[in-house]
Structure 1
Amino acid sequence: MSVPAFAELLERLAFTPSRLGKLALLRQWFATAPDPDRGIGLAALAGELKLRAAKPALVRDLAMARTDPALFALSYDYVGDLAETIALIWPVPPGVNMPPPDLAEVVEALESTPKDELPQLIAGWLDTLEASARLALIKLITGGLRVGASARLARVALAEWSGQPVEEIEEIWHGVAPPYLPIFRWLEEKAPRPDPGATPVFRPLMLAHPLEDEALSALNPGDWAAEWKWDGIRVQLVAGPGGARLWSRGGEDASASFPEILAAMDFHAVLDGELLVMRDGQVAPFSDLQQRLNRKAPGPRMQRDYPAFVRLYDLLFDGTEDLRALPFTERRARLEAWVAREQPARMDLSPLIPFTAWEELAEMRAGARAASMEGLMLKRLDSPYTAGRIKGPWWKWKRGTQNVDAVLMYAQRGHGKRSSFYSDYTFGLWRDGPDGAPELVPIGKAYSGYTDQELLFLDKWIRDHTTNRFGPVREVERGLVLEVEFDAAQKSGRHKSGVALRFPRIARIRRDKPAEEADRLETLLAMIPG
């Protein structure tokens, strides 16, 4: 399957907003694309295509050598996306009449071509392609695909196309490398299901639905267990004779970012838990954990200053024994026995909260923010561990959100469909400056929460009220108030304001409120526990 055919898939995925529409496009790709191209496309969409590095700077330098640098800079400033700018501005020399490359050809050539010959190879491909296919090629080789199709969505499409349960696919996914030929042969009933053997593969997590307060009255307290919803990130620990892996909730390998946890996994089990930073037995704020996230090789100082820890929730496998079909009470008993027996380093057991009435839990939930908790988890005592978000067995009863009225300070273009819009917003609150006059200090950045109509308004307002430019970023007049909603505020030494927000989003645009009446930094500081 040629690069233009893959480009058509990417373009249609990017401009298809509905999940069902994206699934239909992916099913068609699996049904019509040949091997190994369909597997290469699947790996690219899932973010698991590990090609030999072709840095964005290499492609940028190729384009700048063929165009006027000033024109390139102006085009990049307007478009806002490097790959899209190159795809549009690339001048095709006359007389080029070569067939476009296949995906397999691209992958093979990138792996086998000497580094000093890569520029000529890539330039030759770009010369043969139309603009949309050039964009797809650049995104493919630099790893920048953003079309709203996650790895999970791709696996769901595989399940729908083949008729196999998505849980069956997910349990072998990490045991087979791209282009996934054994998986496709199994799904087409041409070979048995691949056996990952002792490979430390990811098992899909069991997820919870949000619980509304009024729904509690329909539940019998005696049927439920409660525990804290810790303010970290959900992880799965898999260890055994085939090695050890630390997986994120989405099935991404986080092992390299937390080597001290990996070193402590000298057991044979699959565990569900919450990754935290822990000091002297106390859970640190989420902002401390953020220091560790996405660090591929944290050094000794980082590990010392931000020590990682896992609070265990559940035991899925004890050795080779699969416990997921057991009720929660039995799995919990097995987990308690396992922790007592193994005494794993850098891990402990998430305690259950004793209660007899919902009013008791409601009172505890009311104090969750002061205790730096996200809220509570409710789990049916008879619930098996079932992959996915099944309504009923597990509920998450989160603390309420918080809000401040902040002033828009800076804006930046987004990515993908939003690359032509100023959709990423930095906002701030007032405080007294060194001379006593009020000044704005940034407190966060958000790029969600608003409607398409509000995006159009914000984009036009930003263009009409720009006071300065810093590359792709525009500074704007201090005249627009945004109501910002967030889950929690925490102290942070990394930010000028001294505050970091957890999950900020735009709740509404306060066109009715003068900027000078926006909230002060002291208002936000007062929301931080302690």
Structure 2
Amino acid sequence: MNRFAFLLDRLAYEPRRNAKIRLMAEYFRETPDPERGFALAALTGALSFRHAKPGLIRGLIMERTDPVLFGLSYDYVGDLAETVALMWPGETRANRSPLLSEIVEGLTSTAKLDLPKRLAQWLDALDETGRWALLKLITGSLRIGASARLAKTAVAALGEDVKPDDVELVWPGLAPPYEDLFAWVEGRGERPFAEDPAPFRPPMLAHPLEDANFRAFEPKDFVAEWKWDGIRVQASAGRDAEGRHVARLWSRSGEDVSGAFPDLVEALTFDGAIDGELLILREGRVQTFNVLQQRLNRKSVTPKLLAEFPAHIRAYDLLVEGDEDLRERPFEERRKRLEAFIAREDNRRVDLSAIVPFDDWDGLTAARLDPASAGAGDDAAAVEGLMVKRRDSPYVVGRPKGLWFKWKHDPMTVDAVLMYAQRGHGRRSSFYSDYTFGVWTTDPEEGERLAPVGKAYFGFTDEELTELDRFVRKNTTNRFGPVREVVHTAEQGLVLEIAFEGIARSTRHKSGVAMRFPRVARIRWDKPTAEADRLESLEALIAEKEGA
């Protein structure tokens, strides 16, 4: 466990991508099975423990230390794992620190009532860094700046002719501790074969497209289609060894979301794999993301929910047809196969995403600005931009350069006043980096006041984060646990320009509005708080969108 903890500690402080890969590859090369396999599972987010939750950690530390002191320390540090790792007394240290494999097995198999005692024994046996790593493992948020893709790249570095995409292709169906994966990469075994009849296939992603760079390409080499404002999914179906039909719905990150969409999975009667967008379709019309959001993350799927929010897939690409893998074929060929596939299946739950016709880049620009007139029709409100794809592009794992581009609508912006701030996590645990902002409204009883309309925790540079953190510390007027209230009056405060992708009415927010993907676009040191935008302007944006 100590070696794994040392790796996490090094990764957390290492900003360079290639250096992170070298650190992980060195660890995988020098660490035996199954330890390195469980480390890979932790780095890729493949571990989850039913009974080990943050509440268990809080309960243990408050038994060992003063609860008030813990509360104050947690407020100051901002990270649960780091706070507990530093405060843990560790009076009865064992002779040997546990192995990572022992901890994973223990967290998986130990009964809920026995887990607090066992976790306390592990914490006693580890040093501060080891405790921190153990607690990060339990909370499931390593926050060390190393993605799952980066960890798989490090695994690929162990082999002579193995590429990261090769690892991605065999990853679905593998399970910790990945001994067969390491044996293959190191040349000691055969390439792993996934026996799942409906596996997840890693998706191909796109680069943002800017007006300044796309004009260097030839328009005739590309195809455009609408980018729908839903959730990217993959519908995979096939037959197992007994001939039974198996269908699954996967999220873009490889999470099996079939249980949340039984109505859609039931309709996947084909054999193959489709890449598409999960949408809500009512009377043949695509609904906005806000409507889809009411179907997402529900603990139970009721008949009423199924009837009010019918799930639908708008297909972008055909990855597999029957037993034939099409991913190495050019997009233009896959598109023709997809059109024939959709027409043949005639599935009311799956339809085809239309191609956007254009002759030159000016014509495509016009289509992006006015989807309704360019073929989207009544569904234009659910279009968030364009996908632009090379006709000859294969379906490649990851985000290859020059093949696929996403050209989203320009974001909407609002000038809002900073109201509250909270510390971030991981490398940001010492900075106030999570901001609640509001706009002005007139209350019949209180008069002019600020209504909170959203939270943002990205979009700014490291230098701007330092400036924002300094402002929060100097202008705090109240505290609510880990949250600081910042001065926000018509005469004093700080205005932030907030960019966001969409806005809709909401019954879950007091302001009545909900923003999609809000981020800090600019710090308006030059703008008085009294001149920040009003709630009425956001309501007007919603009305304009609904009217469209």
Superposition TM-score, scaled by structure 2 size: 0.91
1:273 counterpart = 2:265: no
- Whole-Å Cα distance in 1 between the matches of residues 322 and 292 of structure 2? 30
**What's the CA shift string for 1:308-342, capped at 9, x where partnerless?**
22110111110111122323232122111111222
Which one of the candidate residues 146, 165, 168 is aligned to 2:166? 168
Distance apart, 1:436 and its partner CA: 7.0
Corresponding position: 1:433 with 2:443: yes
Aligned to 1:197: 195
C-alpha separation in 2, matches of 1:445 and 1:343: 43
Written as runs of structure 1 = structure 2, the 5 A alignment for 1:77-476 is 77-93=75-91, 96-163=93-160, 164-242=162-240, 243-295=246-298, 297-368=300-371, 371-435=381-445, 437-476=447-486
Q: Give 5+ residue unaligned stretches, structure 1.
A: none
Give the whole-Å Cα distance in 1 for the aligned partners of 2:318 and 2:442.
52
Match of 1:518 among 527, 532, 536: 532
CA contact (8 A) 2:496 2:521 kept: yes
SS of match in other structure, 2:313:
strand
**Which residue of structure 1 aligns with residue 376 of structure 2?**
none
SS at 1:54's partner residue?
Answer: coil
Deviation of the 1:368 alpha carbon? 4.5
Deviation at 1:352, TM superposition (A): 1.3
Question: In 2 relative to 1, CA 223–143 (structure 1 residues): closer, same or farther, beyond 3 Å?
Answer: closer
Alignment partners' CA distance in 2, 1:151 and 1:257: 24
Is 299-308 or 183-192 further displaced after alignment?
299-308
**Deviations 1:152-210, CA, capped at 9 Å, x for gaps:** 22112212232412222112212111111111111111110111134422222222222
Whole-Å Cα distance in 2 between the matches of residues 15 and 293 of structure 1?
Answer: 35
CA distance in 2 between partners of 1:172 and 1:514 (Å): 56
The aligned amino acid for 1:84 is E
Of 513, 516, 521, which residue of structure 2 is paired with 1:499?
A: 513
SS where residue 527 of structure 1 aligns? helix
Alpha-carbon displacement from aligned partner over 1:284-317 (angstroms, at most 9, x marks no partner):
2212223334445444444333332211011111
Superposition deviation, residue 10 in structure 1 = 1.0
Q: 2:454, 2:49 → 1: CA distance? A: 34
**Counterpart Cα distance in 1 of 2:226 and 2:217:** 19
Distance in 2 of aligned mates of 1:101 and 1:436:
59
Q: CA RMSD in A?
A: 2.1
* Contact 1:42/1:154 (<8 A) preserved: yes
Partner residue of 1:47?
45
Partner SS for 1:116 = coil
Deviations along 1:418-454, whole A, 9 cap, x unmatched? 1122110011111111237221111111100112222
Q: CA deviation at 1:260?
A: 2.4
Change (3 A) 1:298 1:83: farther
Aligned length: 527
The CA distance in 1 between the partners of 2:232 and 2:22, in whole Å, is 30
* Alpha carbons of structure 1 residues 66 and 382: separation in structure 2 relative to 1, 3 Å: closer
Asked if the contact 1:406–1:482 (Cα under 8 Å) also holds between the matched residues in 2, the reply is: yes
1:480 aligns to 2:500 (yes or no): no
Deviations 1:477-506 (A, max 9, x none): 101111111222223232222222222111
Tell me the equivalent position of 2:243: none
Over 3 Å counting, the alpha-carbon distance change for 1:441 and 1:383 in structure 2 is same
What is the letter of the counterpart of residue 328 of structure 1?
Answer: F
* Residues 410, 475 of structure 1: 8 Å contact kept: yes
Identity %: 57
Moved more, 419-428 or 53-62: 53-62
TM-score scaled by structure 1?
Answer: 0.94
CA distance in 1, matches of 2:485, 2:396: 49
The one-letter code sitting in structure 2 at the alignment partner of 1:455 is L
Q: 1:456 to 1:224 in 2, by over 3 A?
A: closer
Distance across 1 between alignment mates of 2:297 and 2:145: 21
Shift of 1:87: 1.1
Once the two structures are overlaid, the 10-residue window that deviates more, 452-461 or 60-69, is: 452-461
Amino acid in structure 1 at the alignment position of 2:365: A
2 CA distance for matches of 1:458 and 1:355?
45
After superposition, the Cα gap between the structure-2 partners of 1:166 and 1:470, relative to the gap in structure 1 and judged at 3 Å, is: same
- Tell me the distance in 2 between the aligned counterparts of 1:96 and 1:356: 72
- C-alpha contact 1:489 1:501 (8 A) present in aligned 2: yes
Q: Structure 1 residue 140: deviation in Å? A: 1.5
Q: Greater shift after overlay, 291-300 or 489-498?
A: 291-300
Structure 2 unmatched runs, 5+: 241-245, 373-379
Cα distance change on mapping 1:135 and 1:333 into 2, 3 Å:
same
Residues 256 and 84 of structure 1, relative CA distance in 2, 3 Å threshold: farther
- Letter of the 1:350 partner, please give it: S
**What's the CA shift for 1:85?**
1.7
SS at the partner of 1:494?
coil
Residues 75 and 299 of structure 1: is their aligned pair in 2 closer, same or farther, counting only changes over 3 Å?
farther
Distance 1:112 1:204 in 2: 30
Going from structure 1 to structure 2, the CA distance change for 1:408 and 1:497 (only over 3 Å counts) comes to same
The answer to whether the 8 Å contact 1:316/1:323 transfers is: yes
Cα 1:45–1:257 change in 2 (3 A) is farther
Give the CA deviation at 1:99.
Answer: 0.9
For the Cα contact (< 8 Å) 1:325–1:384, is it kept in 2? Answer: yes
Deviations 1:32-71 (A, max 9, x none): 1111010101101111113342122222211111111211
For the Cα contact (< 8 Å) 1:234–1:274, is it kept in 2?
Answer: yes
**Whole-angstrom distance in 2 between the partners of 1:188 and 1:218:** 42
Distance 1:148 1:216, change over 3 A: closer
Rate the CA distance shift 1:441–1:305 in 2: closer, same or farther, 3 A: farther
The amino acid across from 1:22 in the alignment is K
- CA separation of 1:296 and 1:334: change in aligned 2, threshold 3 A: farther
